Structure 1
Amino acid sequence: MRDFRDAKAMAQTLREALGAKSIPLTQSDCLELIARLFGQRDWNTLAARIQVAGPASMSARAAEPAAESPPITARQEIAVDPAALDHYSGFYQLNDRAVFTVTPDGHHLVMQLTGQRSVRFFAESATEFFAKIVDAQVSFVVGPDGRATSLVLHQNGSDIPMPRIDAATATEIADQTAERVKNQSASPGTEAALHRLIDGIASGNPDYNEMSPALAAATRKQMQWLQPLADLGNIQSIRFLGVGEQGEDVYSVRHANGAAHWRIALDDKGIISTAWVTPGP
């Protein structure tokens, strides 16, 4: 069931429904309407609430654009032998803080990313699956025996590969992330890395060598939506808010002309593996 964290998907659904009745509204207009439905003053207020609560649907984003969203592609579900789905069951590593768990459920697959709700995926081919409640698809890479060796999550314009890992490794990652969430302490280096990232994006020349390949690719694609960060002006303060459900550090960044909320995480080599931004008070 959808809740306030699904506001963007709800706004897209509203826009499509009104468009079918020849009532044109922009995505921004629909976001404002959804915010009012949830009793919030405006979209920025609701976005801040979503940021604190954490994402509702699986995603590994670079930075979330606030511009027009493309319509979700219509997909055709096909029947798959439930026995074949057992080849995909298991754990896949997103990063050193998050695991993607895949569980067969009849003719479907249920997938869950660390810190997020489970989502049902439907087959559109023997190796490709799609979700209906979020715009996300998964492709499995299989070996000669038909067993998946890895998967690729397709979402927000990014293709995110995840290798299969064993249950012991998945448990170790989950335990480490749970400990970080429990302690609520900032990881060394995240504040400085965030400062450099914001300055680089604002200048139009971020240091992609400081990012993981997936994050660098996503950032390149989304630079046009990130450019408004320059309008916020120089950074005045960065305040640590806590640790998110996937072990990422959450910061409030105040600029001369506004503020934003950021989530950021570094890998064991100090490379930025996760970063995304939403408007903040």
Structure 2
Amino acid sequence: MTEFILNYEPTIRLSFFLGILAAMAGWEFLAPRRALILARPARWTANLGIVFLNSVILRLIFPAGAVGVAVFAASEGWGLFNHFTVPYVVAVVLSVVALDFAIYLQHVMFHAVPALWRLHRMHHADLDFDVTTGARFHPIEIVLSVLIKFAVIVVLGAPVLAVIVFEVLLNATAMFNHSNVRLPLALDRVLRLLVVTPDMHRVHHSIHAHETNSNFGFNLPWWDRLFGTYRDQPEEGHERMTIGIRDFREPRVADRLPGMLAIPFRGKVTDYAINRREWGPAK
């Protein structure tokens, strides 16, 4: 199994990415949740362009990827699950859940530390919210995120299978919960007990600080409920809410590749730091 994953890991991930991207794009076309304000061609070119750029950078810097780190940790006997004997299935499940929790904490940190928020602003500066938003991250943020993930994998001693399952799940759920798709409200209420839904995560992309600093989960929705960062709905409703951040409202800056890459280096961080969040009862 490990050898198969090592040999075909890039193909597995790319196949899931392209398949889910196509499925969600089709769903968005057939049943959109809200009207988009920008034309797709230029915006999708920029958002998917950053995906391509990030993929090239990661392959150059970390050719072995997260799976390679898991293999190396196992060979060296590093990590909890390489020290303690637990059933393999339990180790896989616990590793996936722990990695998801680490991503939640990382996401909160990127909102809490002004220097990290500078990087993360590129993700939030998207003026629309659809499937491509889920893969729109600055290259520097991506590199830092990968290093954090590597550290968690080593500490856990996460099995190779757990790492590839987590990678596929994270990419799949990020595209799903950023999609501009309409779900029946009753179904959404049930689904968000198990997974972050588009309506749940869209709140996080609101222009209002108290909403953007909520609903940090990408995959599992439990962490927001446990740690008091859950908000049920946007105050202005999903159709009327404004997506993005106040500092970057020009499409040529917020939704064109050169402007996107320059966002961390523009202006001062004057808003949205989580330590200025309006802490109150979550709605």
Q: Which has the higher helix share?
A: 2
Bin of the TM-score, shorter chain as denominator length: under 0.3
Alignment TM-score, normalising by the size of structure 2: 0.26
Structure with the larger RCO, 1 or 2 (CA within 8 Å, 6+ apart) = 2
Q: Which has the higher strand share?
A: 1
